[in-house]
Structure 1
Amino acid sequence: MTDAPTPRVRLEASGVSVKPDGAARPVLADVSIAFRAGELHALVGPNGAGKSTLFGVLAGDITPDAGTVTLDGAPLRGIRPRDLARQRAVLLQQNAVSFPFTVEQVVRMGRAPWARTPLEDDDDAAVAAALEVTDIVALAHRGLPSLSGGERARAALARVLAQRTDVLLLDEPTAALDLRHQEDVLRIARGRAREGAAVALVVHDLNAALGYADRVTLLDGGRVVASGAPVEVLTADAVAAVYRQPVDVFPHPGSGVPLVAPRR
C-alpha cells in the first residue's frame, strides 16, 4: 500500500520573531509554521499569545525582525502587491469602510487584482457566487453602513471569496456572527480546503477548531506550544496549561468529535 503524498506547502514561516520597539519581550519568538494545500489550519491560543501578530506576518503586513516567510517558495517580501493579491486573500478582524458603498460594490472590490486580465471576465460570476454562499444576496444593494456587525462580517468574507485565490488567511471570521452563520463560515472555510486551498484560520473557539480543522497550532507567549492534528494538540492538559483554566475534553455523544468544556 502506497502512502498518500504529503500536501504541498503553500505558505511558510521559518524562525519568525517580532519584538516591537520598547517591548520587554518578543511578541513572537522563533515561530515556524507551514500551511498546506487542502488543509484548514487553525491558529489558537489565549489573548496575547501572538496570533494576530503572526497573522500580520503571514499576510505580509508586518515585517519580522528575524526569520523568513515564503509563498510557494518565494520570499513574501519580494512579491509585488498586485501579484500577492492574485495568490492569497486576507480577511482582517476589522473591516472599516468609511464610504456608503453597497454590499455588492464591496464584494466586487475582491476582483480588483484581476482587472485587465483574462480572468476579469469572471467578475460577475465570482461576485454572484460569493454573495450566494455567504447568504447576503438579499443585502446586495444595501449600503454597508446600514448593516449589522454580523452582516458586515459576511460581506467582508464574500469579498475575500470573490478574489478566488487558493491561499486564504481568515482572522476570526466568526467573531461577530450568530450560531448559524458561524457554522456556515466554518463550513465554507473547510469547503475551500477540500477544493485544494490552503486555509489559515485564527479562531478563539476551541470546539470550532476541533470540529473543522485538519491541523491546529497552539500558541502561547509568542511561541508555538504544539502543532498537529486537533485531537493531539487540544488535550485537556495542554488547554489547561495554556489558558490557565481547567477543562474537560470528551467526545460528543452523537458525532464523537471531541468537545472542550471549562470546569465550573
Structure 2
Amino acid sequence: MKIEGVEFSIKQQLIAQVEDAYLEKGKIHFVVGKNGAGKTSLLKILSGLEPNYKGEVSFLGRGLRDWKMEELAQRRAVLSQSNFNAFPIKVEELVMMGRYPFFQQNATQKDKEIVAKALALFELQKFVGRDFLSLSGGERQRVLFAKCIAQIWGKEGHRKYLFLDEPLTYLDVEYQVQFLQLLRDLIERFNLTIVGVIHDINLAINYGDNFLLMHAGKCVEQGDGSRVLSRENMQKYFKVEPHVLEHQGRDFFVF
C-alpha cells in the first residue's frame, strides 16, 4: 500500500496528513500518537471508509477510490472502535456477517466451516447460541475479531488486509498478548498485511514492524520502532519522560 500526498480536512481543519509512505506487505504497521492526532481518521482513509481526501492511496496495485465496496470487502476487514452492534443477534450469526461478501443468499458449507474455525480460534465455541449483547465487553471484542478473521480467511492468490482501530480495548492482558501473537501467525497463514491503531507503546514495540507517528493531524515520523518510538519522540510528542529498559535488542519504556 502506497500513500502519496494524502490530506483530509474538515472545515479547513487538518485532520490527517501523510506526505509519502509505503506499507510493506506481510508486515504489522502500527499508527501511534496522542488522542486527537488523526490516527483513526487515517485508518478510515486507508481502509476505504473515508473517500473525501486529497492525494492518492494505492491498494493492491489500484487506486483505492477505484474499488467498489463489495469487491473491497473481499480483500480487507475492518475492526472499528464503534463496532458494537445495538441489536440482538446470536454470536455465530454476527461472525457469519464476515462471510456476507462471499455469498448471495445462503451461506455455503465452506462459509459455515470458516465461521466455526474463526470461533474456535478465539475460544468462543461456548458462546454459540448466546445473544451478542449478553456478553461482556472483552467477550464482544473477541467475537468481533472472529468476524474480521472470517472475512479474510483463506490464502488465495491475492493479498488481504486487516485494519484494526484500538483492537485491545476491553481485553484482559492475557487476551491482548494472545491476540497480538495470533496476528503474527496469521500474516503468513492468510497472506495478510495488518494496519492498526494502538495505544500501548510497549506492546506496539514488541509486535510491530513499522510505525507511523501522528501528531496534530500530521505524520511526523515513520519507520521502525527504534526510530519512531525513541525516547526523544516520547518526550516531544507524548510529553512524557520515560525510563528506558533494554530487552532482546529493543528499548521498552517505564512511565
Alignment equivalent of 1:14, drawn from 4, 23, 26? 4
Indicate conservation of the 8 Å contact 2:37/2:216, yes or no.
yes
> Post-superposition shift, 1:72?
0.9
1:244 matched to 2:234: no
Kindly tell me the number of residue pairs found equivalent between the two proteins: 247
Indicate the residue corresponding to 1:260 in structure 2: 253
CA contact (8 A) 1:30 1:67 kept: no
Corresponding residue for residue 114 of structure 1:
102
Separation of aligned partners in 1, 2:244 and 2:175: 25
Partner of residue 53, structure 1:
41
- Say if 1:13 and 1:70, in contact at 8 Å, map to a contact too: yes
- Kept in 2, the 8 Å contact 1:90–1:160? The answer is yes
**1:120 to partner: Cα distance:** 4.3
| Residue in 1 that maps onto 2:198 | 203
The 3 A distance-change label for structure 1 pair 14 and 120 is farther
Determine the structure 2 residue equivalent to 1:173. Answer: 167
Give, in angstroms, the shift of residue 35 of structure 1. Answer: 2.3
Note the aligned Cα RMSD (angstroms): 1.8
The Cα offsets for residues 90-145 of structure 1, whole Å up to 9 and x where unpaired, read as 1111213122111110001100011049x944212211111111121111221011
Deviation at 1:238, TM superposition (A): 1.1
Deviation at 1:245, TM superposition (A): 1.2
Aligned 1:74-85 pairs, distance under 5 A:
74-85=62-73
CA distance in 2, matches of 1:31, 1:56: 17
Instruction: Flag the 1:124–1:54 CA change in 2: closer, same or farther, 3 A.
Output: same
Supply the distance in 2 between the matched residues of 1:65 and 1:82 (Cα, whole angstroms).
Answer: 21
Query: In the alignment, does 2:184 pair up with 1:190?
Result: yes
Residues 80-99 of structure 1 mapped to structure 2, 5 A cutoff: 80-99=68-87
Counterpart in the other structure of 1:8: none
1:31 CA displacement: 3.8
2:14 is paired with a residue of what secondary structure? coil
Counterparts of 1:245 and 1:219, CA distance in 2: 16
Aligned to 1:130: 118
